Chains A and B, each alone.
Chain A
């Protein structure tokens, strides 16, 4: 038996040795944050294969990484602010926009930013991506010194908002001959420039020619960590200093932890159920009952663990469109809901728990797709709450591809969506798509049959209104009308977050998803 003893000993010695190595290595671990050495490490998820800003949506990444800048940008309330353009104005006929390009701005290669460079860059975006034309169509772009003029065919009230889209990142087109923008990164005006880029990891370095103050870090390393758990762990272990969009389940590790700073805001999205007014839901009282029978506070705070804010209005509170001043006549109130149904003539006559009227049961189809995890949860919660009131909600799960067509054709009673309300800073498109009257298919997205002439008047005013504060008021009015009419069930607004360790200062999440790495992010205490 000697040999087995030897074997056993050998294994024990081996295991002890391994444990010792682990401990020794632990002593030598580098606990100093890289931030002190001028290196910022950011954990992100990157979907871009190249850095060509006109390819697909890759411009988002060019902007998120602190590389590219536009003429304008969105602030924390989605208001349009000057960026590379210092100011702008519009002609009296509303078709000529004049932008004053900021003086003294240089591209990272040292070339000056002129109106001509901006013109070529915008033209390049139109040439390379047909999505550009879906924002606006121009008749002519003129450049003179630092003055850029854009002449459009139709009045475009939201032109400054359109130009904040990363598709219109200003690049130095004259550098393109000697440089592969896709692989080596475009020449832009942001605080950082590309040292190396692959989808899995980008390394940025300081732009020596940056125009807007000192650039705080020599190097920015940006690994793309697609798995959300891994991203949270990399932040905890100090391998990254900040990370974007930490998952709900991991947030508790960071909230209330004095080593981390959490910035959590509601995004620009809304989750809503469209209500088809061609069937049972034609009756205002039934719609009102349905809406006020849904306990949206509980769905968002308990079921979704606070990762969504409770819904009320079409436009989320992250934007300055009067969220707090809007009143929801159909706030949660199950007693009122029951009363409304009684008044509308829906009663449970056969004792099966489902109400009937004229022999027809109160049965509704709720169309749901499940490519987003929260949608089935919402649908089931609504189903359970409404069951108590005597609704029979039939959840129909379909593929995402079908949802759009079903929405247009109106093949639903309730139809769930998770959509962006105002990518360009203005919710006009979103609101009119779903609720402006659809006359014989002239507004196909409104397949619900909802129509309110008073609302259409407001929409028409909005389309021609250029004054910012008047536009804001119109959008508030439109939302209030929709709430009063019980036009849809607004379930919640997804939150978005950025978490950083305390070695950093000024890390901030914006409702618009474009500004992650900025020149205001600095080492703490400097």
Chain B
């Protein structure tokens, strides 16, 4: 009776608490963004070189020192490190992300222009990952230690062992050159060009995710209630689809949500390899050119995505699993 009372009272405050929780998490974002932008600024500074040096010296000609100094002064690159960071931060706090040192383009505009391509690639990769790893993971769990399970586990080890740029190269060689059915380089942001980068990302992700799905379902299958249900003569299909899947789905969804963050980060190399014109490629190019404002924008984007996705996963857990809610309240 007392438990029931607790549950009702929690539900009343539930929305309010959820809100507080979300706000708290967003407040946590502030020190994270300060810290991460400062660190990335510092690391770029310590890595040596700067946008002006890269622009001039990489062309392989002697450029007079006055020209280099003049350009550095114009961009504020001759200032002490800390002042450079503060200048950037000051602009950012006033809603001005600055302009690219290399192109002179507004950072926010440049970034937003490339974002849809990355979001499309991410969306496709997640869909492909779900399509590959869910059925395969369920199959592997159900056929535990049978040939199909061993095969899938072997495939998953293989997928985990290969770095994704290597998978990309293999796909290019096989689908692009040997079979000649897909373009090696993207001819724009379209579905045909998206297949190979999507597959590359999905293979690595699925390999990891398949094992998580498999172990989650296996764990659930080994619980007492499954044995009990079997003893009562309930058919295996009903147990599997009505009980086990329902109970496992929450963990599976959470794991998936968490991997979106790493996927959004992982696109950088793949975008560069496949000439997919998204923010990842923008960031890699910016790093090569020491274009601080663009790098900072990318770092902030990554930080926000990570925090946001984690928050969504937490809230999802919080909201869907009554055990967690009660646990919170019992404190």
Contact = CB atoms under 8 A, between A and B. Distances in A.
B300 interface: no
Nearest to B169: A229
A230 B185 contact: yes
Nearest to A267: B60
Contacts of A177: none
B102 A49 contact: yes
Interface in B124-139: 135-136, 138-139
A419 B274 CA distance: 31
Contacts of B55: 56-57
A3 B275 CA distance: 43
B70 interface: yes
Interface string A416-436: 000110010000010001000
Given A49-B103, A230-B185, A237-B184, A8 B53 contact: no
Nearest to A165: B61
Nearest to B172: A233
Interface stretch (B32-40, B174-182, B251-259, B314-322): B174-182
A22 B179 contact: yes
Contacts of A130: 67, 70
B302 interface: no
A8 B139 contact: yes
A7 B141 CA distance: 13
A26 interface: yes
Contact of B49 (A8, A43, A234, A400): A400
Contact of A25 (B181, B272, B275): B181
Contacts of B187: 223
A3 B177 contact: no
Contacts of B176: 233-234, 237, 239
Contact of B139 (A7, A134, A223, A419): A7
Contacts of B181: 22, 25-26, 29
Interface string A221-235: 001111101100110
Contact of B60 (A22, A233, A419, A433): A419
Interface in B30-56: 48-49, 53, 55-56
Contacts of A26: 179-181
Contacts of A56: 55-56
A454 interface: no
Residue picked from B64, B142, B143, B181, most chain A C-beta under 10 Å:
B181
Contacts of A60: 59
B175 to A, nearest CB: 8
Residue picked from A3, A224, A433, most chain B C-beta under 10 Å:
A3
B45 to A, nearest CB: 12
Q: How large is the interface on B (under 10, 10 to 19, 20 to 34, 35 or more residues)?
A: 35 or more
Contacts of A224: 275
B236 A233 contact: no
B5 to A, nearest CB: 41
B237 interface: yes
A11 to B, nearest CB: 6
B142 to A, nearest CB: 5
Contacts of A465: none
Nearest to B62: A429
A234 B173 CA distance: 10
B53 A239 contact: no
Interface of A, secondary structure class, is: mixed
B96 interface: no
A196 to B, nearest CB: 12
Interface in A390-407: 399-401
A420 B181 CA distance: 42
Contacts of A2: 237
A227 B273 contact: yes
Contact of B184 (A3, A230, A269, A433): A230
A26 B176 CA distance: 10
Given A134-B67, A226-B272, A401 B60 contact: no
Given A233-B172, A419-B60, A31 B184 contact: no
A7 B135 contact: yes
Interface in B249-275: 272-275
A45 to B, nearest CB: 11
Interface of B, secondary structure class, is: helix
Contacts of B14: none
B274 A230 contact: yes
A130 B148 CA distance: 69
B63 interface: yes
Q: How large is the interface on A (under 10, 10 to 19, 20 to 34, 35 or more residues)?
A: 35 or more
Contacts of B179: 22, 26, 29
Residue picked from A7, A50, A225, A230, most chain B C-beta under 10 Å:
A230
A1 interface: yes
Nearest to A22: B181
Given A4-B139, A401-B49, A429-B62, A200 B275 contact: yes
Nearest to B47: A399
Interface in B53-78: 53, 55-64, 67, 70
B240 interface: yes
A420 B60 contact: yes
Contact of A423 (B61, B143, B175): B61
Contact of A239 (B64, B67, B183): B183
A87 interface: no
Nearest to B289: A47
A510 B14 CA distance: 72
Contacts of A237: 172, 176-177, 180, 183-184
Given A22-B179, A26-B180, A29-B180, A3 B240 contact: yes
Contact of B135 (A11, A399, A420): A11
Interface string B271-292: 0111101000000010000000
A226 B184 CA distance: 13
Contacts of A269: 60
B63 A238 contact: no
Contact of B272 (A7, A227, A399, A419): A227
Nearest to B64: A134
A95 interface: no
Given A223-B275, A238-B180, A399-B49, A420 B61 contact: yes
Contacts of A1: 236
Given A3-B236, A236-B177, A230 B139 contact: no
A502 interface: no
Nearest to A400: B49
A447 B285 CA distance: 35
A292 B281 CA distance: 46
A236 B64 CA distance: 41
A131 interface: yes
Nearest to B70: A130
A200 B113 CA distance: 13
B237 A3 contact: yes
Interface of B: 48-49, 53, 55-64, 67, 70, 102-103, 105, 135-136, 138-139, 142-143, 148, 169, 172-173, 175-177, 179-181, 183-185, 187, 236-237, 240-241, 272-275, 277, 285
Given A49-B103, A230-B185, 14 more contacts: A3-B237, A3-B241, A8-B148, A31-B180, A47-B58, A229-B169, A233-B172, A233-B177, A233-B184, A239-B176, A240-B185, A399-B49, A400-B48, A400-B49
14 contacts: A1-B236, A7-B142, A8-B139, A47-B58, A56-B55, A60-B59, A130-B67, A131-B64, A134-B63, A224-B275, A227-B273, A229-B169, A237-B184, A419-B60
Query: Which 7 A-B pairs rank lowest in CB-CB distance, beginning with the nearest?
Result: A399-B48, A3-B237, A49-B103, A420-B60, A57-B59, A234-B184, A25-B181
